[in-house]
Amino acid sequence: MNSTDMYQLEIYRPGSTYDVLITFKSAQPFMAIHQGSLLNPRTCALEAAFGRELQARGYDLIGSHASRKPLDQEVFARVLAAIEDEFPPLV
């Protein structure tokens, strides 16, 4: 599958048309979203992997999430680099 076969949903910081908070990609169309819709990215593969990484570093989490969606390794590597100083390993 190439990038032209993907659907993409970008969530922007409130009040901004430039600052993307998170991007979701899917091979399937997304459900309809309307102004005021609540989005729950808890099943996002990125969040599930982030939780596992924090646990591996010795942090206790309130709840955990699983995902059957594939993890974008490139994006996850950027997340890990960004949090390195904020969440150093405790173990």
Residues 46 and 84 in one domain: yes
Same domain, 61 and 20: no
Q: 85 and 66, same structural domain?
A: yes
The pLDDT assigned to 20 comes to 79
DSSP characters over the chain: --GGG-EEEEEEPTT-SS-EEEEEEESSPPPP--TT----GGG-HHHHHHHHHHHHTT---SS-----SPP-HHHHHHHHHHHTTTS----
What domain range includes position 30? Answer: 1-37
Does 22 lie in the same domain as 62?
no
Return the pLDDT at 2: 57
pLDDT at position 40 is 56
Q: Are residues 9 and 27 in the same domain?
A: yes
Segment-wise mean pLDDT, segments of 10 residues, the chain, 91 residues: 68 79 76 69 72 88 73 86 86 83
Same domain, yes or no: 25 and 58: no
| Number of folded domains that form the chain | 2
Q: Is there a single domain that holds both residue 33 and residue 45?
A: no
